[in-house]
């Protein structure tokens, strides 16, 4: 269960606060509208307090400012704003959950996360790199 919480937290790291695009869905540019953060990201989570694994790596995909997990078994709700601000929540079933925030630049980013699982609460930092 603790591993699932940390895995969820890792997914949070690559996530962000959603700000929808302004392109009209009928315009040709809407079909190719892309966020500067779109693509595959590798996220490393580091536990600074609590009973979670010391470190965990996971992948996420960002598409039109929405963050998607690369893997299964995780419920992820994350978004990246137009200025790179990241905000996300993750759960892996039961009472395990985590949330995180931070900022992305064009090829890297970082922030903090906090979660709760069967072994208690955990918190730490995350670092992301574009793949």
Predicted local confidence at residue 3, as pLDDT: 53
Q: What average pLDDT is seen over the chain?
A: 80
Domains and CATH numbers, the chain: 2-17+32-130 (2.40.128)
Q: What is the pTM of this model?
A: 0.75
> First vs last Cα of the chain: how many Å apart?
28
Which parts of the chain fold into alpha helices (H)?
2-13, 28-32
- How large is the average pLDDT for residues 120-124? 95
Instruction: Judge whether 94 and 107 are in contact, CB under 8 Å.
Output: no
**Would you call 70 exposed, middle or buried from its count of C-beta atoms within 10 A (0-12, 13-18, 19+)?**
middle
How far apart CA 55 and CA 50 sit, in angstroms, is: 12
């Amino acid at each position: 269960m603790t591993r699932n919480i940390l895995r969820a937290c890792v997914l949070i790291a690559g996530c962000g606060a959603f700000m929808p695009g302004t392109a009209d869905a009928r315009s040709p540019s809407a079909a190719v509208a892309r966020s500067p953060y779109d693509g595959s990201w590798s996220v490393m989570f580091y536990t600074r307090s609590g009973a979670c694994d010391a470190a965990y790596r996971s992948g996420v995909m960002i598409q039109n400012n929405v963050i998607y997990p690369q893997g299964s078994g995780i419920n992820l709700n994350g978004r990246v704003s137009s200025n790179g601000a990241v905000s996300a929540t993750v759960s892996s079933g039961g009472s395990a959950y985590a949330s995180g925030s931070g900022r992305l630049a064009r090829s890297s980013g970082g922030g903090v996360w906090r979660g709760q699982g069967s072994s208690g609460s955990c918190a730490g930092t995350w670092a992301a790199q574009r793949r």
